[in-house]
Amino acid sequence: MNTFQLNIISIYGEKGKAWLAKLPELVAAISSMLDLRNLTEVTNLTYNYVLSGFQGDNPIILKLGIDHEYLMQEAFALKCFAGFGAVKMLVEDDKILLLERAVPGTSLKDYFPNQEDESIKITCGIMKKLHQVNIPVASDFPHIKDWLTALDKNLPIPDEYLKKARELRDYLLQTSKLDVLLHGDMHHDNLLQNSNNWVVIDPKGVIGEPAYEVAAFIRNPIGELLNHADVINIIQNRITCFAKFLELPSQRILDWCFVQAVLAWVWAIEDGCDTNHFEQLTKIYNS
């Protein structure tokens, strides 16, 4: 059983098993309806079923998710970010998204660790474009403060980390001056080369300050980063560079990195996933 299947079953139980069993039938029906061909699973499946292929001669991505509400939130975020650095959405309904496929589709993960400064500059450029988008007046996008209520739960995380994360969260929220529409999960695998440009995929769509956006990149690619002998210096350099290019306080970025590491630890516990990486990150940010 692969990581994708384990994630779905861990989170959704019997409902997840039933959905996984129906996937071949769903894909066949959608392929026929939309005239799709040469569909192949992508290699880094996590929580959605994603295939690459063609519609006619056009390269596409087909994305199916068990959580329809979550999928529609992504679709709305893509609409909002259209023309501001996001991949183009072709078709949406409550079961699928059909997207333009980035070609060649190289991700910024391929830039780690030898092209760190270039990858940071690319990411900053896209962030600046995304954050120009006006927050829709009528939308169901959550605010980061809604996500961060998860830190108030009583979970098996050392009290010193939970206490610090809660205090930093409250301070950062109280002192935030600018809310924008954030991607919400801007890490290396979600930044792809499309011809001579770079585009983002998989936006969560959440409202908050720009400094919050940086932390996802800084902790990724998480496995490779934590196994790197120079992990501390890499993280410190990233914080320094993002602070410079985005004109943000470096301490504020570090504080958000710590808060998000603990938040990700909380979510991993809730989803029944491995917490080891987030424990390591929390200790690094706390040192």
Write the secondary structure of 236-249 as one string of H (helix), E (strand) and C (coil). HHHHHHHHHHHCCC
With a cut of 80, say whether residue 1 has pLDDT above it.
no
Average pLDDT of span 253-280: 96
Q: Which pTM does this prediction carry?
A: 0.94
- Residues 86-103: pLDDT tens digits? 999 999 987 899 999 999
Question: Quick check: 151 and 225 in contact, CB under 8 A?
Answer: no
Identify the burial level of 145 via C-beta atoms within 10 angstroms of its C-beta, where 0-12 means exposed, 13-18 middle and 19 or more buried.
Answer: middle
Q: What is the pLDDT of residue 267?
A: 96
Domain boundaries, the chain: 3-100, 106-286
Least confident of 134-138, 146-150, 257-261: 134-138
Q: What is the pLDDT of residue 138?
A: 81
Confidence band for 44, pLDDT divided at 50, 70 and 90: confident
Residue range 106-286, CATH number: 3.90.1200.10
Find tokens 């519609």 and name the residue. Answer: 55
Distance CA 159, CA 181 (A): 32
How many CB atoms are closer than 10 A to CB 263?
A: 20
Alpha-carbon distances of 57 from 52, 86, 160, 219, 256, rounded to whole Å: 13, 21, 56, 37, 44
Confidence band for 41, pLDDT divided at 50, 70 and 90: very high
- Residues 109-131: pLDDT tens digits? 999 999 999 999 999 999 999 99
Provide the edge-to-edge strand list for the sheet that holds 36-41: 36-41, 49-55, 58-64, 96-100, 89-92
- 3-100: which CATH architecture? 2-Layer Sandwich (3.30)
Q: What is the pLDDT of residue 104?
A: 97
